[in-house]
């Protein structure tokens, strides 16, 4: 059964690119362009991994990350942050690593992104 990967980003172009990349590798991509501070859609989708843009409409990604980590149902889902907010994320590198959150910077290398996805999913299993 294909691993389900939810991609949350505010760019339709990034969502389409991620869908193509992930589907080509045999994953089941679930795409969301909205800032979902309501976790119900994520809980219903039951993804094996979430790829989250940190700068969703400003601080939306950071708010969503906090909610995901604080909710008992979503806290076990591994998260990869994929974002161009390089300086902010570098400043938070230790904190994110302690939370088990992996960061891939935009623009990303496709092979690096896929290797990171594979690594995170192996760690989860």
Q: Give me the residues paired with residue 102 across strands.
A: 80
Which residues of 17-77 form beta strands (DSSP E)?
A: 28-32, 49-52
Is residue 22 in some structural domain?
no
What residues make up the domain containing 69? 51-108
Residue 124: inside a domain, yes or no? Answer: no
In a domain, 28, yes or no: no
Q: Is residue 121 part of a domain?
A: no
Residue 16 lies in a domain: no
Number of domains the chain contains: 1
- Domain membership of residue 31 (yes or no) is no
Instruction: Please give the Cα distance from 10 to 56 (Å, whole number).
Output: 6
d(CA 100, CA 65): 12
The two structure tokens encoding residue 17: 């690119």
**How do the pLDDT tens digits run along the chain, 125 residues long?**
899 999 999 899 999 999 999 999 999 999 998 656 789 989 999 999 999 998 876 557 888 899 999 999 999 999 999 999 899 999 999 999 999 999 999 999 999 999 999 999 999 88
Q: Is there a domain that residue 99 lies in? A: yes
Q: Identify the burial level of 68 via C-beta atoms within 10 angstroms of its C-beta, where 0-12 means exposed, 13-18 middle and 19 or more buried.
A: buried
Do the domain assignments include residue 12? no
């Amino acid at each position: 059964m294909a691993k389900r990967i939810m991609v949350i980003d505010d760019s339709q172009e990034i969502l389409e690119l991620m869908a193509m990349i992930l589907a080509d590798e045999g994953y089941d991509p679930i795409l969301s362009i909205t800032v979902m501070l309501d976790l119900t859609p994520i809980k219903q989708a039951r993804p094996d991994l979430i790829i989250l843009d940190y700068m969703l409409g400003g601080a939306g990604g950071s708010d969503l990350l906090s909610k995901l980590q604080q909710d008992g149902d979503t806290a076990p889902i591994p998260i990869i942050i994929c974002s161009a907010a390089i300086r902010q994320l570098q400043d938070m590198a230790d904190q994110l690593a302690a939370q088990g959150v992996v960061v891939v910077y935009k623009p990303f290398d496709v092979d690096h992104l896929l290797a990171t996805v594979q690594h995170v999913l192996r760690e989860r299993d």
